[in-house]
């Protein structure tokens, strides 16, 4: 099975990552840059997985 990421998928990844990072920052309020970086990485991984899951389910 091939997965095709188009520009709309990339926009969705960015949007989901930004919203997730904002929600994580509001909930946990990181005090250090390492905490901010960790939340950003978690948000981006979650966004990529969400878009890939949607792509797999609709293919």
Number of compact structural domains in the chain: 1
Whether 45 contacts 6, CB under 8 Å: no
Q: Is 13 a member of any domain?
A: no
Q: Is 7 a member of any domain?
A: no
Query: How many CB atoms neighbour CB 13 within 10 A?
Result: 19
On the question of pLDDT at 58 being above 90, the answer is no
What gap in Å lies between CA 21 and CA 10, rounded to an integer?
16
Q: Is 24 a member of any domain?
A: no
The pLDDT assigned to 10 comes to 86
Which domain range does residue 36 map to? 29-59
Rg (CA), the chain: 13
Model confidence band, residue 1 (pLDDT cutoffs 50, 70, 90): low
How confident is the model over 13-42, as pLDDT tens digits? 889 999 999 898 889 899 999 998 998 899
Q: Is 48 a member of any domain?
A: yes
């Amino acid at each position: 099975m091939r997965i095709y990421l188009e520009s709309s998928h990339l926009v969705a990844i960015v949007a989901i990552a930004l919203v997730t990072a904002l929600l994580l920052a509001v909930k946990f309020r990181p005090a250090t840059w390492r905490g901010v970086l960790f939340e950003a990485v978690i948000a981006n991984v979650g966004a990529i997985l969400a878009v890939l899951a949607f792509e797999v389910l609709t293919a």
